[in-house]
Amino acid sequence: EAQVTQNPRYLITVTGKKLTVTCSQNMNHEYMSWYRQDPGLGLRQIYYSMNVEVTDKGDVPEGYKVSRKEKRNFPLILESPSPNQTSLYFCASSSRTARSTDTQYFGPGTRLTVL
Amino acid sequence: AQSVTQLDSQVPVFEEAPVELRCNYSSSVSVYLFWYVQYPNQGLQLLLKYLSGSTLVKGINGFEAEFNKSQTSFHLRKPSVHISDTAEYFCAVILNTGFQKLVFGTGTRLLVSP
């Protein structure tokens, strides 16, 4: 089954404790992206990757890091989480990079709470 | 810069009633338009998209949307809703220039009651 998986689905942590949210897709997609969803703000892009070893900042990259060492995986790293990073996070992927009108497939989401 | 406006944060309707969820965009260049749906505790899935051609686009679950270039709108409609349509709906746009990034609206929560 074609899918995007994220782990963990729920995470409660404390300020400053490094964490990683994993994202994996099994569709051989080149393009992957991370979004955060906050009430009243919709989805905002954090980082995206057009292919292996190619990543770039989205609209709200501060406080986040990503890496793309393999095509299928795109982890989101919070080196020193803060309470304002409490949010619902989604990973997405799609097949093309230059013209991303192809459907983006979304993971089930990771609800992060930073105390 | 492109932006997407969803005018209603919440739309309550009764089952079997028609519904329209509004979406307007601002852009000086041509765009591609999308509607995504997010059911409770799930990720987003594509309802429909407009790339070119006919301005009336039909999607899954009986939804349709009409692209109106003069009014820069892409409203989503369904003639008769079901309880199971209760979800959050996001309008999104991609500019037709260079590398295209998906920009989302703030979402509209559709609440269908019996």
Query: Are A106 and B43 within 8 A, CB to CB?
Result: yes
Residue B21 DSSP SS3:
strand
Q: How far apart are CA A54 and CA A57, in angstroms?
A: 11
For B44-87, how does the pLDDT look when each residue is reduced to its tens digit (9 = 90+)?
Answer: 999 999 988 888 999 999 999 999 989 999 999 999 999 999 99
At residue A98 the predicted structure's pLDDT band, cuts being 50, 70 and 90, is very low
How much of chain B exceeds pLDDT 90, in percent? 69
Query: Are B101 and A100 within 8 A, CB to CB?
Result: yes
For A6-57, how does the pLDDT look when each residue is reduced to its tens digit (9 = 90+)?
Answer: 999 999 999 999 999 999 999 999 889 999 999 888 899 999 998 899 999 9
Q: How far apart are CA B88 and CA A37, in angstroms?
A: 12
Q: How far is A93 from chain B (nearest CA, A)?
A: 12
Q: Which of A58, A100, A107 sits opposite B43 (nearest CB)?
A: A107
* Rounded CA Rg of chain A: 13
Q: Does A77 touch chain B (CB under 8 A)?
A: no
Q: What is the DSSP string of A16-83?
A: T--EEEEEEESS--SEEEEEEEETTTEEEEEEEEEETTEEEE-S--TT-EE--SSSSB--EEESS--G
Q: Which of B42, B43, B100 sits opposite A100 (nearest CB)?
A: B100
Neighbours of B66 (CB within 10 A): 16
